[in-house]
Structure 1
Amino acid sequence: MISASEQLIGVYRRYAPVRLREACVYEPSCSEYALRAVQKHGAVRGWFMALRRITRCRWPNGGIDEP
């Protein structure tokens, strides 16, 4: 069963502008990281981890970052 968090991430992936989605230089992308974090750690901790990652994002940098 797909949770509300997973559905919200799916909506972002479907409707966010391509330039915004492709701007993520991390591997996995920020939306993929959020999805994995929510699936692995649950909604509260997963969203906290995803938001923490987004706030530390420096657009020209990147690298591998697993939840």
Structure 2
Amino acid sequence: MKKVLVFIITGYQKLISPFFAPRCKYYPSCSTYAELAIAEFGIKGLFMAIWRLIRCNPFSHGGVDYPSKNAVLKIKERQLI
């Protein structure tokens, strides 16, 4: 289940997201947050991602919001590659 959801999110990131300007008020982006949360927490990560999408609205202040401390390391590894 985790792999299927992560595959769908990765497909969105590579095929659909490049056609739109970056708009996310949070760092990492909502799709990256969802990918990391689901990969680490499974179904709980799915609910974390849904809650993040609900919070991402014109009235939110945004900011830095990682799903876990491990996610920080994974994002830094991606930036080095």
Where on the TM-score scale, by shorter chain, does this alignment land: which range? 0.7 to 0.9
Q: Write the letter of the residue equivalent to 2:20.
A: R
Please report how far the alpha carbon of residue 61 of structure 1 lies from its aligned counterpart in structure 2 after TM superposition. Answer: 3.1
What residue is the counterpart of 1:52 in the other structure? 51
Higher RCO (CA < 8 A, seq sep 6+): 1
Q: State the identity %.
A: 36
Q: Normalized against structure 1, the TM-score is what?
A: 0.79
Residues in 1 aligned to 2:63 and 2:39: alpha-carbon distance in whole angstroms: 21
Query: Across the two proteins, how many residue pairs are aligned to each other?
Result: 64
Ranges in structure 1 where 5+ consecutive residues have no aligned partner: none
Q: Structure 1 runs of 4+ off > 6 angstroms?
A: none
Higher helix proportion, which one?
A: 2
What residue is the counterpart of 1:11 in the other structure? 11
Please report how far the alpha carbon of residue 48 of structure 1 lies from its aligned counterpart in structure 2 after TM superposition. Answer: 0.8
Ranges in structure 2 where 5+ consecutive residues have no aligned partner: 68-81
